[in-house]
Structure 1
Amino acid sequence: MPPVVLAQHVTKWYGSRRAVADVSFAIEPGEIVGLLGPNGSGKSTIFRMLTGYLVPTSGRIEVAGCDVVSDSLGVRRAISYVPEDAPLYDHMRVGEFLHFMAGLKGLHGAGARGAVDEAAERLELTAVMMLPAGKLSRGFRQRVSIAQALLANPKVLVLDEPTSGLDPHQVIAVRDLIRSLAGRHTVLMASHILPEIEKIASRVMILLDGRLLTSDALKEMTQHLALRLSSSSPYALIVLAAQGVSGVREVAPDADAGTGHYLVRAERRASLPADLIAALVAADVAVSELTEVRPDLERVFLDLTKRLGEAA
């Protein structure tokens, strides 16, 4: 089955400023993919190109087999976009707004009523359908924004910072909602909150300064090994012994754990911890602990950023 979203060598310039630099990726049907990066990294620019709001300076983007430049109407029929702080018509009641949006998406009569009723039920909006949008909490406004995006049953749903500004209860509710969309829709969501995107997405792409550092950060997390070492021996002796073990990439003080604790980063292979212990013992390094540390997105992001800086 071909990818539902395909970007090939996409670059976007705003005058003399390059916002996106030679980005390529593919997204399969039914995936929930997170696009992670700090503010200003190019996430919103990529989303606006995907949805036809902006035209790439160079490169090619397809959504559901439709080119965003030559077949923008086909793209818009296949995709729905919820930007950060999506505006609502505050004077409209929720039900009126959803019916209005259904009409804009080409749904009328019984088709529109059925789509609105289904969206209201899925987003738990039934109790607020008669309320003006301007009276809703931020959490409910976000639900209404997502509901209107789902009305025409899009193949692809694009969410830009969907949990931004929500309280913890609202974040959990939106997170559960996005998870429930997997399979029926392909979801591409952006965030700069690392733990949040890790909990939702099945795959995470990391963007920095307009460049794609990885198209699968979660895979990167499992490919490399991180070990926490506790020792009273001198740091220089530990580094010397560890660097003699094949696959060890770095030994650094563990700032979170305090004095006498170190993080050893290495290639993942079954015998590496035993090889490391043997090398440390042979070098008379006093080892009181050696445990595997599950890497998180923050560590992967920092490692990738460091590698990018060294290569620049």
Structure 2
Amino acid sequence: MMSPLVLAQHVTKWYGPRRAVTDVSFGIDEGEIVGLLGPNGSGKSTIFRMLTGYLVPTSGRIEVGGHDVVTDSLSVRRLISYVPEDAPLYDHMRVGEFLHFMANLRGLRGTAAKAAVDQAAERLDLTRVMTLLTAKLSRGFRQRVSIAQALLGTPRVLVMDEPTSGLDPHQVIGVRDLIRSLARSHTVLIASHILPEIEKIASRVMILLDGTLLTADALKGKSEETVLRLAATAPEATVRGVVSAVAGVRDLTVEADAGSGARHYLIRAEPRASLAADIVAALVGAGVAVSELNEARPDLERVFLDLTRQSSRGAA
């Protein structure tokens, strides 16, 4: 079994008398998009700064690609790129000048630096602003430049702290699509306090509260069972008989009457791609009128609230 690309073991961080991170352990495999979710002040940025070498853990160990972030920090920095919150840039530099400067810092020179900058600029749609001062850029373009500098040198791991913060809805969608595309060639770790954004981007979600990691995979339970909400007009016995005969269906319960003979049902079944289509085909084939069939998974907000409540009760 291969070791995780990123590995944190019993990491704790104190700021003087205040403990910001408490005994946090997790692993991240190559190619994952992992979300670190938690309210402001929960320790997300502290974990990222330790992971990228900006801070030293008080205790515990962090490795990236088998290299310790404290004792072998230069090797780690060759493997990892960081997009901090608020997109800090050198405002006196033009966009192209800034990207070339960052490419040089990553050891790229001459034609190699130019090729890397041109590729990043095209990928982030920055070609038209390369001659502008970074101080003149909009919030959305500043965020794109910050992501572009992180792509220089083809790092294996991208660490992004609140990458959609302050963006308008159109820009959020663009950054979300970009992050999904980056997973084809990078491992991506994203911190956010916005639950719907994390749910749409991440393949796995870790939840942090008051410096403590509550779970390393909040979405795991969501993949073990598919829950569908069905509205159909037919006798209950007919609907039950047809749906129960579909492969993978485990249970059907009446949720509510919808009036005019229609009823709402919850269907629990083994997850598979053609499940909904098979259920509709079976019902229509039996002459049952179907007015609704939607997936009704528990959302990340519910998982988050349940975990934080359990944590609060445990602390009490």
Matched residue count: 264
Change in CA separation of 1:135 and 1:28 when aligned onto 2, cut-off 3 Å: same
Q: What is the match of residue 118 of structure 1?
A: 119
1:22 aligns to 2:23 (yes or no): yes
Matches of 1:91 and 1:311 in 2, distance apart? Answer: 51
- Please list every run of 5 or more consecutive structure 2 residues that lacks an aligned counterpart in the other structure: 230-247, 255-262, 268-295
Deviating more after overlay: 214-223 vs 198-207: 214-223
Matches of 1:227 and 1:139 in 2, distance apart? Answer: 38
Matches of 1:202 and 1:304 in 2, distance apart? Answer: 19
- Tell me how large the CA RMSD over aligned residues is: 2.4
Matches within 5 A, 1:1-312: 1-223=2-224, 271=250, 273=252, 289-291=264-266, 293-312=296-315
Matches of 1:123 and 1:19 in 2, distance apart? Answer: 34
The residue type paired with residue 301 of structure 1 is F
Return the offset for 1:168. 0.5
Return the offset for 1:223. 4.7
Normalised by the length of structure 2, the TM-score is: 0.78
Normalised by the length of structure 1, the TM-score is: 0.79
Q: Deviations over 1:158-200 (max 9, x none)?
A: 0000000000111111111111100211110100000011111
Return the offset for 1:270. 6.3
The residue type paired with residue 161 of structure 1 is E
Q: What is the match of residue 281 of structure 2?
A: none
SS of the residue aligned with 1:120? helix
The residue type paired with residue 299 of structure 2 is D
Return the offset for 1:289. 4.7
Q: Deviations over 1:269-307 (max 9, x none)?
A: 965655xx7xxxxxxxxxx75536421110000011122
Q: What is the match of residue 289 of structure 2?
A: none
The residue type paired with residue 89 of structure 1 is Y
Matches of 1:43 and 1:183 in 2, distance apart? Answer: 24
Change in CA separation of 1:37 and 1:105 when aligned onto 2, cut-off 3 Å: same
1:226–1:294 contact (8 Å) kept in structure 2: yes
Change in CA separation of 1:31 and 1:311 when aligned onto 2, cut-off 3 Å: same
The residue type paired with residue 306 of structure 1 is R
Return the offset for 1:220. 2.8
Matches of 1:272 and 1:308 in 2, distance apart? Answer: 31
Deviating more after overlay: 99-108 vs 36-45: 99-108
The residue type paired with residue 81 of structure 2 is S
Q: Deviations over 1:88-113 (max 9, x none)?
A: 12221111110111111111111111
Matches of 2:250 and 2:130 in 1, distance apart? Answer: 60
The residue type paired with residue 164 of structure 1 is S
Change in CA separation of 1:195 and 1:108 when aligned onto 2, cut-off 3 Å: same
Return the offset for 1:130. 1.1
SS of the residue aligned with 2:219? helix
Return the offset for 1:3. 1.2
- Please list every run of 5 or more consecutive structure 1 residues that lacks an aligned counterpart in the other structure: 229-268, 278-287
Matches of 2:298 and 2:24 in 1, distance apart? Answer: 25
The residue type paired with residue 60 of structure 1 is R
Matches of 1:86 and 1:191 in 2, distance apart? Answer: 15
Q: Deviations over 1:109-134 (max 9, x none)?
A: 11111111111111111111111111
Return the offset for 1:52. 0.6
Change in CA separation of 1:151 and 1:271 when aligned onto 2, cut-off 3 Å: closer
Change in CA separation of 1:308 and 1:225 when aligned onto 2, cut-off 3 Å: farther
Matches of 1:225 and 1:150 in 2, distance apart? Answer: 37
Return the offset for 1:226. 7.9
